[in-house]
Amino acid sequence: MSAIPLLIIQGATASGKTGWAIRLARRFSFEIISADSRQVYRRMDIGTAKASAEELAAVPHHMLDLVEPDQNYTVADYVKTARSLAAKIYRRGKLPCVVGGTGLYIQALVGGLAEVPEADEELRQQLRTREEHQGQGTLYRELQQVDPESAARIHPNNLVKIIRALEVCQLSGHKMSDLQQQHQFSDSCFSPLYLAPKWPKEILHQRIAERTRFMLEQGLVEETQALVSDYGENLKNLQTLGYREVLAYLQGEFSLAETEARIALQTRRYAKRQMTWFRKVSQTIWVDSCQESGKVIELIDDLIQK
């Protein structure tokens, strides 16, 4: 079977990826496969910036609302389902279009999963105990020493991913980032075209601020309250961007204005990490989605005709 053409629109949060994809869908017949590690969860709509009802009606979307917020969902789960979806979309005579900002999902979808050691619960517990006894940030600082590239991609508060990266290092004797890099694109059944919207940093920061305000206006606080009510404050997904800041607000640690500023700040930092990841994908073509439409159309036409 020949490689399946795959359009990939990747980039930083708030860079307008979904809107861009929907505009392109007016010219090309495609369906969207989300590549967002949090949009797979139900009831997490505002905080993950899921597509609106109008956007969902305009273009078929997949890989949204797959599991409950307290269920585990891995990159392997994503790859298995998304690869099958892409093939089905292609067989329907449409172009599969991956849209999202979770670089690991996109990398694994295109190139397959790196061979890394299976989980070792005893080692994980030892690492968690160290963090508890030696203080918050202990394991992240260790990861910065042993695998700085992985550390740069992981939020300092994401203990689950920090422990996994250290676990891989200790069990395999190799850095997680090296294993992923060695494997990259070695198992591809796709012919991908990587596009990413290009914005000046100041404009992207403005867009992040505007979206943060919009999320709060749309009911991010109420959405977080509902998750706390049904799953408790220890729900792992409440420790992700946006929700953790609102949770601190609900616990009386910050005012609403301070919460908005904290979300915007952390989102800017997250966007910086995303940009670092995507700049290392050498195939990425950075374009001004408003001014370079002719170039984009030509590139997609070439992809379809391969």
pLDDT (tens, 9 = 90+) of the chain, 306 residues, equals: 579 999 999 999 999 999 999 999 999 999 999 999 999 999 999 999 999 999 999 999 999 999 999 999 999 899 999 999 999 999 999 999 999 999 999 999 998 876 677 788 889 999 999 999 999 999 999 999 999 999 998 989 889 889 999 998 998 888 888 877 665 545 568 999 999 999 999 999 999 999 999 999 999 999 999 999 999 999 999 999 999 999 999 999 999 999 999 999 999 999 999 999 999 999 999 998 667 878 899 999 999 987
Distance CA 123, CA 166 (A): 10
What is the CB neighbour count within 10 angstroms for residue 152?
Answer: 14
Structure tokens belonging to residue 74: 């891995």
What is the end-to-end Cα distance of the chain in Å, rounded?
Answer: 14
Domain boundaries, the chain: 4-112+187-305, 121-181
Judge contact between 41 and 63, C-beta under 8 A. Answer: no
For residues 63, 69, 73 and 75, what is the CA-based torsion angle, rounded to 10 degrees? Answer: 60
Maximum distance among all Cα pairs of the chain, rounded to whole angstroms = 59
* Structural tokens at position 208: 């992040």
The fold of the 4-112+187-305 domain, in CATH, is: Rossmann fold (3.40.50)
* CATH tag, 121-181: 1.10.20.140
